[in-house]
Structure formats: C-alpha cells, structure tokens
Amino acid sequence: MFTGIIAAVGKIIAIKKNQKDMTITVHAGGLDMSDVKLGDSIANNGVCLTVTHLNGDSFNADVSYETIKLSGFSNIKTGFLVNLEKAMQMNDRFGGHIVSGHVDGVGEITAVTPLGNAVEYWIKAPDDLAKYIAKKGSITVDGVSLTTNEVDGASFKLTIIPHTISETIMQEYAVGTRVNLEVDVIARYLERLVLGEQAAESYSKQHSTMDLLAKSGFMG
C-alpha cells in the first residue's frame, strides 16, 4: 500500500521488451535505496512494481501486459521521468490517502492555467471512471495523492501548489499529456455494497439490474 506522497523523481534508463511484457530499469534519483531489497514494491507513476534487480542507485522491475495495456506504460520510452514512492511501512506517517498502486485508467491533461503561485489542471478521465470521481474527493494522478476541486462530467480540476509541482513530474505536464489515474478505493467498495446480493451475479445481470433501477427513477 502507498499514500500518494512522492519521495523522488526517477528516470527510465533502459527498456527490454519481450513478446508482450517488458522489463524496465529505473534510476532512482533522490530515492533512499539503502533499505530496498529484492521483492520490495515501488510505485512508478502510481503503478506498483516489484523490484527484481538492484544496482546501486537503480533498479529493475517487470511490467506485465495487463499493466502496459491499462496505464501510460504503453507509451513509455527511455528518458521518461517517473514519480517514485516506496511501499508504506506500518510505522510511517499517513500523509495522503489509501493508494493501492493499481491504475484504473489513463486520463489526459486538457488545460493548464497558472493561478498566482499555483497551477490549475483540468484532466479528462475515461468515461467509466466518472462515477468514482467526486468534488473534494481523493484521486491519484501518476501516483500523487490529490483532491479534486471541481468535477464536470468525466473531467476534473486540480489546483496544485508550487512545492508539489517542483517535487513531482507535474512540472512536465502540458495539454495532451497522458496520466495514470487511480480512483479512491473506498468508492469502489461502496459500489459493490450498493449492489448487495446482486454482487454475486455475473456482470451482465448486474448491468441489467442497474439499468432497470435507473429507468425506474431510483438512480440519479
């Protein structure tokens, strides 16, 4: 588990592509690697990856086909910068929100607007994630724990302070930048709870039930 508080910015320095998956080598930048061992988890732009090899200030990690398909790793190249966070320990300070490291989809930056010392970003999320995004709710963008200030359909606005921008890859964001999104895990559990006994049925039957409830006026 992670908290969404970025510890350092790393860089992809090598990519070995296999038939469907790949192995990446990440220079850890300012990340303290003194206590990292093989098998540990490190979030890279919000993607939980397992350390498979250590070489001083860099590490290797395998990226599965499923992860490539669902995240910004589908467009990764050497030289890309990545937000890094080591997995949370039981005695760590909880500074962000519960982040699992399982990316739900890829969003796109649609507007970047300076606002005093801060910067506003509008991000368009995939339509199927819109129901999990709420005003003043938590969302993870490239591994960073953030609060949504406004929501408009599947789009949401973030207002980011200079410190967060300077300590993460958000300084690289521009219109068109694609970002990894992880919605609040509590919202996902609430969705299952609302289904009640329907949760044990197949997805197609669940979908039919939800459609019927919506048509009958029981859902907004």
pLDDT tens per residue, range 10-69: 999 999 998 899 999 999 999 999 999 999 999 999 999 999 999 999 999 999 999 999
pLDDT for 212: 52
Whole-number pLDDT of residue 185? 84
Does residue 67 contact residue 20 with C-beta atoms inside 8 Å? no
CA pair distance 127, 174, nearest whole angstrom = 21
- pLDDT value of position 91: 61
Above 70 in pLDDT, residue 218? no
pLDDT bracket for residue 121 (50, 70, 90): very high
* Residue in this structure with the two tokens 């910068």, named with its chain if needed: 81
What Å distances lie between residue 17 and 65, 115, 125, 189, CA to CA?
A: 11, 41, 28, 35
pLDDT, tens digit, for every residue of 156-189? 999 999 999 999 999 999 999 999 999 988 887 7
- With cut-offs at 50, 70 and 90, classify the pLDDT of residue 194: confident
| Residue 177: half-sphere exposure toward Cβ, Cα within 13 Å | 20
> Which helix (DSSP H) or strand (DSSP E) does residue 45 occupy?
none
Backbone angles phi, psi at 73, to 5 degrees: -65, -10
- End-to-end, the C-alpha distance of the chain in Å comes to 33
pLDDT score at 125? 98
pLDDT computed for residue 211 by the predictor: 61
Please state the separation of Cα 43 from the chain's center in Å.
9
Q: Which is more confident, 45 or 211?
A: 45
Q: Which two tokens stand for residue 94?
A: 């909880």
All domains of the chain, ordered by start, with CATH? 8-86 (2.40.30.20), 105-186 (2.40.30.20), 191-220 (no CATH)
Question: Whole-angstrom Cα distance, residue 114 to residue 97?
Answer: 26
Between 207 and 117, name the one with better pLDDT.
Answer: 117
pLDDT at residue 201 tops 80? no
Give tens-digit pLDDT for 63-115.
Answer: 999 999 999 999 999 999 999 999 977 666 666 677 888 899 999 999 999 99
Residue 47's pLDDT is what? 97
Return phi, psi of residue 20, to 5°: -130, -20
What's the pLDDT score for residue 191? 79
β-bridge mates for residue 2, sequence order: 99
Q: Which H or E element spans position 182?
A: strand 178-183
Of 218 and 105, the structure prediction assigns the larger pLDDT to 105
